[in-house]
């Protein structure tokens, strides 16, 4: 720490006395025994790139990060011993001219120092970065062992963990690994790498990679504006500028999706949909596991099994008429021991499989057989797969499920078309596979939004519209418990839609059904990015007759939250904000919250505290800063920084709303998201003394380009509560002057909570407005008809 302090002091003194140039880059060729080239580039005001290579070598073009245009202009100057770059956001970088050591300082006092040394041991390159310590780390992809990753060794090599549970060491390393580290002090480090590697999060940090080319890294600052508070929301906005953002989702992906391992016939599939409909469940999707193409050993066939699915096109059409979208599974393997042998015999001679050291098709053995593995680095393979996906999509398949994509079996001895060994390419496989489907939809279905379920990949996976899930979790309480942690770390890595098999996948044959567990898991799933039940047995909600009074209202509640949830989707697409956020998201320096991973923020304004323990009828709830209102009993109000024991019998999911929030709802029955309306909302307002705000996002809910083309509206609500009045101002903000909202008149029921007594008057745009006041609940309801082409106001006089 002595060196960090000295460099920071020296930098401040030098900067005060220097006159600098304006550019975006500084470079140094070191004077060490083995000279190296160190280049620092201001990518944006909040992002700097550090390259350290042997002289004459260059870092390769990134495979995982976006080519962000370098529009930032930084101030640069030289001293006797260093080159210095300082961005407009206050990030200052010095490069020592002798040894290439790099010191980075942020405006909130954070300092990190790269020694400049790159050690090579056993073919692996290692870099060392010192920090100030006393910080928490998050992210690194899908990690379920702990939310705070400080002091750990994080392996970057995708790995499947069948039937995992909480507390197992193996879930430190899961299916999606990303060399992305988020600090509670408001900065991130992103290593531009996808090869097998190890990141040790002690102090100093060490990053050791098996890449055979130099690895650059990025420092991202999350401090903006006059406030020096470390905020992860600022950081995620900058991070996803670099790693990419997911487009808006298909609306149906926000509804309820049913899935099982697996629906074996067309008749069974139709029957499940009809049974759910008869039971009153809204339904938007059904997922077909491997039986749609035949038996397990037919993997790689990618063709309907006409014996069990005699009329697939008609089935898909009939499902679509009922508002049900179908997602079909696909895997990386083409087996020879089943009916995919024709595909194997076609593709093997054409070099479309991963190969051995002499160029022959590599042999891959999985649990149901043996054969080849699609080499998705080969353009011919990508085209062949794209053609198959197109044929099936044209039949009516709506979404795709890429299973086993770590890849689960990927022998180290094999090579890819791009010249990389399996171990070097392993983590990138899921990204390149996802991109095949993404590019297909861009080329052939540009007006459709895409849902691809993928369980393997690395940094940047989200920009291919991937909806990942935490794979084959145990159907047990231990399987339920790490799911919040997984969603949080994934979201902080850029994967905003990480979800889970609701109900648990891998059953215990001696105890295959646990109704209490199913209910608690469904409560969590209702407030997860994707609500998809999935298991080996008893997956569907109607399989639990004694719990229907809890289960059916829960799934219907998912639809009531569509206005809020779709607004969260907008925040993810426009700013990279995850839907599931840690309690310290808006003040990450609050170290009292950095290990809380059994509750979370659902967006900015809702706190969810799921029950994760068998037999529990209460749970402890910790409140972050602010004032929090009990959604079930709004008279109960809790202060941030406090802790309470909250009653939670089986039918109760503890949920709280931030005081001052506006929570939009769709309080009417839906069969599917096709019944969602943009002319009718219920908006629950929880006033707190002072000003607050909220909004609803609207667009056509169909095309993927509404943000890029500025074809959307934001319906904004501004509240101001005083001793004598409650004011609500309504304004509509169109993204463009050319955009006209197709539904101009909104019918909104404002429900204002915790109003102490019947108001003396309520006006809307200056005219007396009818209202209903419930003395028992202290809820005031005001119904308004608002033409959004003009602003409007509600004034409640106490």
Query: Three-state DSSP class for 70?
Result: coil
Q: 553: Cβ–Cβ under 8 A, 6 or more apart, which residues?
A: none
Token pair recorded at residue 416: 């890819």
> For residue 20, what pLDDT is reported?
60
Does residue 227 carry a pLDDT above 80? Answer: no
Range of lowest pLDDT (18-27, 31-40, 204-213, 767-776):
18-27
Rounded to the nearest angstrom, the gap between the alpha carbon of residue 169 and the centroid of all alpha carbons in its chain is: 23
Range of lowest pLDDT (24-38, 353-367, 721-735):
24-38
DSSP 632: S
Which is nearest to 272 in space by CA: 543, 525, 499, 469? 543
Does residue 121 carry a pLDDT above 90? Answer: no
Does residue 595 carry a pLDDT above 60? Answer: yes
Query: Three-state DSSP class for 102?
Result: strand
> For residue 226, what pLDDT is reported?
54
> For residue 224, what pLDDT is reported?
61
> For residue 3, what pLDDT is reported?
44
Which is nearest to 558 in space by CA: 274, 284, 171? 284
Does residue 14 carry a pLDDT above 80? Answer: no
User: Is residue 18 very low, low, confident or very high in pLDDT (cuts 50, 70, 90)?
Assistant: very low
> For residue 625, what pLDDT is reported?
94
> For residue 228, what pLDDT is reported?
59
Does residue 1 carry a pLDDT above 80? Answer: no
Does residue 34 carry a pLDDT above 90? Answer: no
Q: Are 395 and 358 in contact (CB under 8 A)?
A: no
- Average pLDDT on 692-710 reads 97
In whole angstroms, give the CA distance from residue 127 to residue 116.
Answer: 8
Does residue 7 carry a pLDDT above 70? Answer: no
Does residue 4 carry a pLDDT above 70? Answer: no
- Average pLDDT on 287-311 reads 98
Angle between helices 379-395 and 312-321 (to 10 degrees): 60
- Average pLDDT on 657-662 reads 98
Q: Which three-class secondary structure string do you get for 288-334? A: ECHHHHCCHHHCCCCCCCCCCCCCHHHHHHHHHHCCCEEEEEECCEE
DSSP 635-658: T-EEETT-EEEEE--TT---EEEE
Predicted TM-score (pTM) of the model is 0.96
**Per-residue pLDDT tens over the stretch 539-586:** 999 999 999 999 999 999 999 999 999 999 999 999 999 999 999 999
Beta strand 767-768 pairing with 47-54: unpaired
Q: 215: Cβ–Cβ under 8 A, 6 or more apart, which residues?
A: 59, 125, 127, 191, 192, 193, 207, 209
- Give the domains, in start order, of the chain with CATH numbers: 2-243 (2.60.40.1760), 251-333+376-581 (3.20.20.80), 677-797 (2.60.40.1180)
Average of per-residue pLDDT values in the chain: 95
DSSP 74-101: EEEEE-SSEEEEE-TTS-EEEEETTT--
**Per-residue pLDDT tens over the stretch 480-527:** 999 999 999 999 999 999 999 999 999 999 999 999 999 999 999 999
Mean pLDDT: which of 2-16, 29-43, 720-734 is highest? 720-734
| Top-confidence residue, 56 or 284 | 284
| Top-confidence residue, 283 or 16 | 283
In whole angstroms, give the CA distance from residue 278 to residue 516.
Answer: 24
Which is nearest to 253 in space by CA: 514, 105, 449, 535? 449
Residue 359 φ/ψ region, left for φ over 0, alpha for ψ in the -120 to 50 degree band, beta for the rest: left
User: Is residue 32 very low, low, confident or very high in pLDDT (cuts 50, 70, 90)?
Assistant: confident
**Per-residue pLDDT tens over the stretch 605-626:** 999 999 999 999 999 999 999 9
E strand map for 509-617: 531-533, 580-581, 600-602, 606-608
Residues in the chain: 798
Q: Are 533 and 625 in contact (CB under 8 A)?
A: no
In whole angstroms, give the CA distance from residue 520 to residue 262.
Answer: 23
Does residue 13 carry a pLDDT above 50? Answer: no
> For residue 9, what pLDDT is reported?
39
């Amino acid at each position: 720490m002595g060196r960090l302090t000295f460099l920071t002091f020296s930098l401040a003194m030098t900067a005060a006395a220097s006159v600098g140039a304006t550019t975006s880059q500084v470079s140094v060729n070191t004077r060490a025994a083995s000279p190296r080239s160190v280049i620092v580039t201001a990518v944006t005001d909040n992002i700097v790139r550090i390259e350290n290579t042997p002289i004459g070598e260059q870092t390769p073009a990134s495979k995982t990060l976006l080519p962000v245009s370098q529009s930032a202009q930084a101030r640069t100057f030289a001293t006797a011993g260093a080159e210095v770059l300082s961005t407009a956001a206050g990030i200052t970088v010095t490069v020592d001219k002798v040894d290439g050591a790099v010191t980075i300082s942020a405006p909130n006092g954070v300092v990190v120092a790269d020694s400049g040394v790159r050690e090579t041991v056993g073919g692996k390159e290692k870099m060392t970065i010192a920090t100030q310590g006393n910080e928490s780390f998050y992210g690194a992809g899908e990690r379920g062992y702990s939310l705070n990753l400080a002091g750990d060794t994080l392996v970057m090599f995708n790995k499947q963990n069948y039937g995992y549970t909480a507390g197992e060491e193996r879930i430190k390393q899961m299916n999606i690994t990303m060399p992305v580290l988020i600090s509670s002090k408001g900065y991130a480090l992103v290593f531009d790498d996808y090869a097998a590697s190890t990141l040790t999060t002690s102090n100093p940090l060490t990053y050791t990679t098996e890449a055979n080319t130099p690895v650059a890294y990025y420092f991202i600052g999350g401090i903006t504006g006059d406030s020096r508070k470390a905020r992860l929301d600022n950081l995620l906005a900058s991070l996803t500028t670099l790693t990419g953002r997911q487009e808006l989702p298909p609306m149906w992906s926000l509804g309820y999706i049913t899935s099982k391992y697996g629906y074996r016939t067309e008749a069974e599939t139709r029957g499940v949909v009809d049974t759910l409909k008869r039971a009153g469940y809204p339904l938007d999707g059904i997922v077909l596991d491997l039986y749609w193409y035949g038996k397990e050993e037919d993997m790689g066939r990618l063709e309907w099994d006409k014996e069990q699915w005699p009329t697939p096109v008609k089935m898909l059409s009939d499902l679509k008429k009922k508002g049900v979208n179908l997602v079909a599974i696909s895997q990386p393997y083409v087996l020879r021991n089943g009916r995919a042998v024709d595909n194997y015999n076609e593709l093997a001679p054409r070099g479309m499989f991963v190969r051995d050291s002499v160029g022959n098709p590599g042999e891959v053995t999985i649990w149901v057989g043996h054969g080849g593995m699609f080499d998705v680095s080969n353009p011919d393979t990508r085209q062949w797969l794209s053609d198959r996906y197109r044929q099936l999509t044209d039949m009516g398949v709506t979404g795709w499920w890429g299973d086993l994509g770590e890849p689960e079996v990927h022998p180290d001895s094999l090579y890819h078309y791009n010249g990389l060994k399996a171990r070097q390419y392993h983590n990138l496989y899921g990204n390149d596979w996802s991109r095949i489907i993404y590019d297909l939809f861009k080329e052939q279905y540009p007006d459709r939004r895409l849902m691809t379920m993928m369980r393997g990949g690395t940094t940047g996976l989200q920009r291919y519209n991937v909806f990942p899930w935490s794979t084959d979790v145990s159907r047990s309480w231990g399987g339920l418990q790490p799911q919040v942690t997984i969603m949080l770390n994934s979201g902080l890595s850029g994967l905003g839609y990480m979800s889970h098999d609701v109900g648990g996948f891998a059953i215990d044959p001696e105890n295959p059904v646990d109704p209490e567990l199913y209910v608690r898991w469904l409560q969590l799933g209702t407030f997860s990015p994707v609500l998809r039940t999935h298991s080996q047995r008893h997956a569907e909600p109607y399989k639990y007759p004694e719990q229907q009074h809890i289960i059916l209202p829960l799934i219907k509640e998912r639809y009531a939250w569509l206005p809020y949830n779709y607004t969260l989707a907008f925040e993810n697409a426009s700013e990279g904000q995850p839907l599931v956020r840690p309690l310290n998201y808006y003040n990450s320096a609050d170290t009292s919250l950095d290990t809380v991973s059994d509750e979370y923020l659902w967006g900015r304004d809702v706190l969810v505290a799921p029950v994760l323990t068998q037999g529990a009828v209460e749970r402890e709830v910790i409140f972050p800063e602010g004032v929090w209102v009990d959604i079930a009993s709004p008279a109960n109000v809790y202060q941030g920084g406090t802790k309470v024991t909250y009653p939670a019998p089986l039918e109760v999911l503890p949920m709280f709303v931030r005081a001052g929030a506006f929570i939009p709802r769709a309080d009417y029955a839906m069969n599917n998201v096709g019944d969602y309306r943009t002319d009718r909302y219920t908006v629950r307002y929880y006033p707190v003394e002072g000003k607050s705000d909220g909004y609803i996002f609207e667009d056509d809910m169909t095309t993927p380009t509404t943000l890029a083309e500025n074809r959307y509206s934001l319906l904004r609500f501004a509240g101001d509560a005083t001793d004598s009045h409650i004011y609500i101002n309504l304004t509509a903000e169109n993204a463009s002057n050319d955009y006209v909202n197709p539904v101009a008149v909104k019918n909104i029921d404002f429900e204002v909570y915790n109003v102490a007594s019947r108001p003396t008057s309520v006006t809307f745009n200056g005219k007396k407005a009818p209202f209903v006041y419930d003395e028992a609940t202290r809820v005031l309801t005001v119904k308004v008809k608002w033409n959004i082409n003009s602003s409007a106001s509600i004034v409640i006089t106490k």
